[in-house]
Copies of this chain bind each other. A is one copy, B any other.
């Protein structure tokens, strides 16, 4: 929509710019604010080591809360809270069976991100063992 033709228009609010053309073109390409927020929300969910561990654990298939707690080392309450958050964002889904609740990954995009991250981890482990 905003072509670099109306760059001058952007100056109205008196901000100094070094490269106004680039700024305009970057603004053109920039996703909507909502999209940015949604995306950063997803990254944010993966940005906690315990939640990430939960999701890695779920890569191979469903697990119940107590098993997830065992894998991550979290208390069952903390695990439940974390899963609740992931569920609210539709990253995981539940299957209830008797008194157990089995969680599974339910978002292809997130699965891809977690897969990628694990792959990258192994990769850099091999290359930079100093960390």
Interface size class of A (residues with CB under 8 A): 35 or more
* Given A47-B43, A48-B40, A52-B43: A15 and B70 interface contact (C-beta under 8 Å): yes
- Residue from the list B35, B38, B53 in contact with A36, Cβ < 8 A: B53
Q: Mark A8-48, 1 if CB is under 8 A from B, else 0.
A: 00100001111100110111011111111111111111111
* Given A18-B64, A23-B70: A118 and B31 interface contact (C-beta under 8 Å): yes
- Residue from the list B63, B67, B109, B131 in contact with A34, Cβ < 8 A: B131
7 A-B pairs closest in CB distance = A44-B47, A43-B46, A47-B47, A43-B47, A40-B49, A35-B121, A40-B52
